[in-house]
Amino acid sequence: MNEGKCHLQNGGKEFNCTCADGYLGDNCQIDMCSPYKIADIVFIIDVSVSQNETTFAEQKNFVKYFIAQFPFGPDRFQFSLVLYASEPHAVFHLNTTYDNYTIIDAVDNASIPDNKRGATFTGKALAFVKGKYLLRPTVGAQTWTDTLFF
């Protein structure tokens, strides 16, 4: 696979592969130059009155750490952040252009408008993300890849 050379051993019961540069794995199936599957990832965070600032800060730290692990941009990983309580609020969209520093700053500065705080309406947030807004190509959804929600 991927121009690797595999050889039978032990009377044909086992094999060993020598992988081409940039590949590894038992069958040379892992592309080290692009080890990740591309995806659109949407973080959905509850900021209702039942959540405190400490919890919100911890959630934002998780999002920043997660984003920092992946290459991002068009044709790579794309990220979006939605905060919700009584109403969902998109902080940034999948097609918002950021570099490593500005996307982290956008997460750090995320807040929900006071008029959208209140009780927890998770269903509204999921419906918002699923079909009404973020999964459309006009906001950057890559229709040929997976979209994951956290």
Tell how many helices (H) and how many strands (E) occur in the chain. Answer: 3, 8
* Domain 39-149 = CATH 3.40.47.10: no
CATH no. of 1-33: 2.10.25
pLDDT at site 146: 58
pLDDT in tens, 19-57: 888 777 788 877 766 656 677 888 999 999 888 889 999
Enter the pTM of the model: 0.69
- The ranges assigned to domains in the chain are 1-33, 39-149
Express each pLDDT in 92-111 by its tens digit: 988 886 777 888 899 999 98
